[in-house]
Structure 1
Amino acid sequence: MFEKLQAPPPDKILSLISAYAEDTRPNKIDLGVGVYRDETGATPVLETVREAERRLLATQKTKSYFGMGGDPAFCRAIVPLIFGTDAPSDRIRALQTPGGSGALSILMGFAAKLTKRIHIPDPSWGNHAAIAKHSRLEILRYPYFDAATSRVNFPAMKAALEKAEAGDLVLLHGCCHNPTGADLSREEWSELADLLIEKKLLALVDLAYQGFGDGLDEDAWAVRHLASRLPEMLVASSCSKNFGIYRDRTGAAFVLGKTSQEAAVAEAQVMMEARTGYSMPPDHGAAVVRIILEDEALYAAWRAELETMRSRIADLRRGLAESFRRRTNSAAYDFLMESRGMFSLIGVTEEQAKRLRSEFGIYLVDDGRINIAGLKEDQIDTFVEAVVTVKG
């Protein structure tokens, strides 16, 4: 029967890994895959993670299941990290998931029981649409990014969502938009909350990069604002980036209900999605996160390590913008300083992206998305010169 199958198209981002590995040029630069790298080019294991793992190894007495919702202690610890200490906790339920993708999968599967349509920003992370399609949701795209200004086109976004139907699901990036790095302002988030309430739309917020933008609490502002105003919402969060535990696949799915009872029923339905999707989430990464969040000193040390990563990204953004300004004698790339997180669209075409790979050994996605955290400081001017060259 397998002869009936056709090979799927390769993942455009993951395929860059092998292409980069096969490139023998000594000065090649990898700006494709979305992982944080330090100045040496390594994706480090945080010292707080190492300490938490030492404690876990010394104290863990069983590998038995926790259940479909994961470790209850992890779930209790993660809620204030996302929603703050003033959260309506009686109306929030949390489930431990295999990464942010696992959270998105079970939340979209759950939402498909309530609605048939999802509105996804254009552009967005490619897996958003793939997961929505797998959940049999009809995908509608709303304009988000103005390529001419490299900033959010909020009027167009708002106008499109005003045409949405009551009950539709709306996917939103909580911070550090992937792939553009362009985020809504707080005033725009407030206007968006008004619209979601007026149109009776269900928000699904993807918070994958908390702590990589303006700060841990600052990056959660949108989620907390929406939670203070909306009767219902869904949130998917990832611990991959801010704890640096990518391969340990740790995330959380949250449901906010109108009442505690409705939240509990929704939680039970989401658990059924988890049961048929992966049954039980992996524990190791969640245990590490729990240990860090529950220990005051370890938590403070982790926040300091996260701030180091955030500051490095901000410095690279500033250095890039300044280098482009010197090279082009214009402010055309100043948006790099205004954008947040690891990603930005650098404004090259697919052909120009291919030239950057073939002629300069610079690996980036065909749409021009770059992982700024993949740069080293001494590579900034080299990268800028290459971009200016291919753009003519």
Structure 2
Amino acid sequence: MLVPEAVLDRAHEDVHKTQPWNNPDAVPYIRFENVTKKFGDFYAVDDVSLDIYRHELFALLGGSGCGKTTLLRMLAGFEEPTSGKIYIDGVDMDGVPAYERPTNMMFQSYALFPHMSVEQNVAFGLVQDGVSRSEIRELVAEMLGLVQMSKFAKRKPHQLSGGQRQRVALARSLIKRPKVLLLDEPLGALDKKLREQTQFELVNIQEKVGTTFVMVTHDQEEAMTMASRIAVMNEGVINQIGTPFELYEYPNSRYTANFLGQVNLIEGVLVDDDEKYAVIKSDEAGCEIYIDHAVQGHEGMTFWAAIRPERLRLTKEAPEDTKYNCVSGKVEEIGYLGGISTYHVRLASGKRIKVTEPNSTRQIEPRYTWEDSVWVSWEAGAASVLNQ
């Protein structure tokens, strides 16, 4: 069926609105141009260029010391770049002090004043700016309503739970309507269950207020749940930028594949590269890995097949075809997590691979146990092929 051009045009317009990074005409709201930050001889941030668009919830993700917090602090004005430029809404931030930038920061510790009530904490910035009392009352009431903290307005911070303090800190950060809200590990102080709940609350609030959020986190699950796009950082540089889907399904390196979720990395050499398929011979796996697309390399070149644990099949019987994408081993470790079970399988080469299975039906006893001989197989399209 042919789709009318007008419908296609509207579809492209919708994509450009919701995904401005795919629109070549979109103007970035925040721009880092070749930004470097050195502390002595150490490069905390090394020649980073990055565009963030209006209304995005953008995450800087990486381990400790990767440069993500330094990048955020330079955007806030707490640090000056050694070289390079930072723009917010088209304005060069060179020499602009933190208090004059259209940004606000929400810290992991929340930094609430313990002697002030909730409403006084939220109103603090407006009081400092000399806003009238009537306007302050109106704005504070609106913001507390937004974060669902109206009934706690008179309480002190020590009378609140961790999640409630986080909401108060968010309200205080947003009440002056900054163009950009910077969040430094915003949910790090919360327990796992509350953190998961608060992730969605933060996303909903960000969508309501429309403020551009830039978040620093080391928690890949948090970044993937909340962010429109993620920059994965390592040793002061950005490894890859993309949506959570793009980074998980199409990582560009072993580092990104390993940092985003769990992955099995199987090393091998290319033995056949056709226009429509490729074959990698892996001594580590003890089999040949068939890929359903070309990988654009030369024979003998080293590649790694990155296969997510949930893409693997575990069986006690050998599959019909064991020539490709099929290995045998023994179950060495088992983790039962309720919704899923995790199996570590030791291959003949000594390589361990991880398999996860959903527990979709209630069972009397586990399907596999320790030292079971099993087969692990996967589809031709299950692996991402990486050469770095």
Which is higher, the Rg of structure 1 or of structure 2?
2
Structure-1-length-normalised TM-score: 0.29
Q: Quick check: which one's strand share is greater?
A: 2
Which structure has more relative contact order (CA 8 Å, sep 6+)? It is 1
Q: Quick check: which one's helix share is greater?
A: 1
